[in-house]
Amino acid sequence: MPNKLLVSAACLAFIFGCASRQKTDTPPPAAPSSPQAASSKTAPAPAASGTPQAAGAKPAPAPARTDGRKVKSKDGKVDGEIFGTPGAKSKFAKVQIGMSRTVVEKLIGGPEDSDTHITGRQFTPFYFGGDTLRYEAYYKNEGQLTYSNSSRSSAPDTLIIISVDTKATGKRR
């Protein structure tokens, strides 16, 4: 009996100790401002054999966009972001944050490519809300639309991010 009490007390101390640990959100270090330092990081040195890169190597990810603006849906229930400004006659000018995926696809057509992934909220214990799954739709010469789920068990069907890129290939990067 004393061992069970000791183990229970140790487990409780561990759980509450981890839960009360302070989390800090520090921004990542700033990128170098000199053009020479920036180009040396982005351009990899050629391999010794003369080949540019190995066949299985992935290209570096695109830098994060910072030109976004926060917006709300017409009904005020959905918070979203818009990166860039869609042209007056572009497909993305017809869509709005908070629209469902079926309505968007009826308005502007289906995407050239798409991708689905889970978010970090999927792994949060005792979190039963939405935004655990995202669906990204890629449109050629338009950009990318990102949808999120409204509850843990639903499909990602609410538009939350409009990312305008007139040079988009319509494929995942």
The reported pLDDT for the residue numbered 68 is 82
Write down the pTM of the prediction: 0.61
The reported pLDDT for the residue numbered 136 is 95
The reported pLDDT for the residue numbered 19 is 54
CB 146 within 8 A of CB 158: no
The reported pLDDT for the residue numbered 102 is 95
The reported pLDDT for the residue numbered 51 is 47
CB 139 within 8 A of CB 84: no
Distance CA 76, CA 119 (A): 23
The reported pLDDT for the residue numbered 80 is 93
The reported pLDDT for the residue numbered 50 is 47
> Which H or E run contains 92?
none
Distance CA 60, CA 44 (A): 10
The reported pLDDT for the residue numbered 61 is 60
The reported pLDDT for the residue numbered 135 is 94
Q: Which residue has the tokens 């995942």?
A: 172
Each residue's pLDDT, cut to its tens digit, for the chain (173 residues) gives: 667 777 777 766 666 665 555 555 555 555 554 444 444 444 444 444 444 555 556 666 666 667 788 999 988 889 999 999 999 999 999 999 999 999 999 999 999 999 999 898 888 898 888 888 999 999 999 999 999 998 877 888 999 999 999 988 888 87
C-beta neighbour count of 126 within 10 angstroms? 4
